[in-house]
Amino acid sequence: MKLMRVGPLGQEKPALLDAAGRIRDLSAHVDDIAGAALSPEGLARLAALDPDSLPLIEGKPRIGACVGAVGKFLCIGLNYADHARETGKEPPEEPVVFAKATSAICGPDDDVEIPRGSEKTDWEVELGVVIGSRAKYVSEAEAMDHVAGYCLINDLSERAFQSERGGQWTKGKSHDTFGPIGPWLVTRDEIADVQSLSMWLDVDGVRRQTGSTATMIFGVAHLVSYLSQFMTLLPGDVISTGTPPGVGLGMKPPVYLRAGQVVTLGIEGLGTQRQRMIPA
């Protein structure tokens, strides 16, 4: 299934994208794409519905973040060896973990703010993993049983805030609109091999990132298991799993985003995003 949330900011309703690409209203069956709806039982109930029986949502509504009420927005840094090297760092021996404020979450096509005083706002196409059931001390072999599905994320970053203001990544990653998520949450059963998905990102139509989840240092199962050793993962938690090379920081000389520019990105099977940069 491709689950989504549509409508004005803060008023999104749950929806499903049918096989013909039409948006179907799920409001009569679930309050939101969040919490218990993401459990194996919750997803099974939604999968049992006949999409043709669901009301159509006409027109072109705003698409919101595909997950509501996100509890934790966890990110993995330097998870592609060639990206680590382009930033001047060696590939890590263990996952680099940081948090992104949930207030950064926005829709996949919403405008993205360049923070006040920013000169180093950067882009990062990433695979998102959405947790569907409680995971605490889970093994790598059982980790995937706790995954509801996957989504596309742009892990926007302000590099000076991240690395030149005390070295605390979270404050360089958490500006409002720095977490576009969606357009869809694609359930795990629809992705044959999550470690073999092509990914790309363009700035003003110029290709900047081309990669594949095949080159991740730490795969999805390892990351879910690893994180569950340090904190309990709950339904609706989102993990952004790292970016391939081609970020602005890694260019020589570095190139960063400016107001008026347009970023487009996509991951095979997970849809695309489009964001216009605006001043905060």
Predicted confidence band of residue 202 (pLDDT cuts 50, 70, 90) = very high
Q: Which is the CATH superfamily of the domain at 69-279?
A: Fumarylacetoacetase-like, C-terminal domain (3.90.850.10)
Cα angle, residue 36 at apex, residues 155 and 218 outer, rounded to 5°: 40
Ramachandran region, residue 246 (left: φ > 0; alpha: ψ -120 to 50; beta: rest) = left
Q: pTM, whole model, 2 decimals? A: 0.97
pLDDT at 168 over 90: no
What share of the chain in percent tops pLDDT 90? 92
Contacts of 68 (CB under 8 A, 6+ apart): 5, 12, 14, 32, 33, 34, 236
pLDDT at 152 over 80: yes
Mean pLDDT of all residues belonging to the chain: 96
Of 45-49, 76-80, 146-150, 154-158, minimum mean pLDDT range:
76-80
pLDDT at 136 over 80: yes
> In the chain, where are the structural domains located?
69-279
What share of the chain in percent tops pLDDT 70? 100
pLDDT at 82 over 80: no
Say how far residue 160 (Cα) sits from the centre of its chain: 22
Per-residue pLDDT, averaged over 31-39, amounts to 97
Give, as one character, the DSSP assignment of residue 78. Answer: S
What three-state secondary structure class fits 113?
A: strand
Contact 239, 99 (CB under 8 A): no
| Alpha-carbon dihedral sign for residues 110, 264, 27, 133 | negative
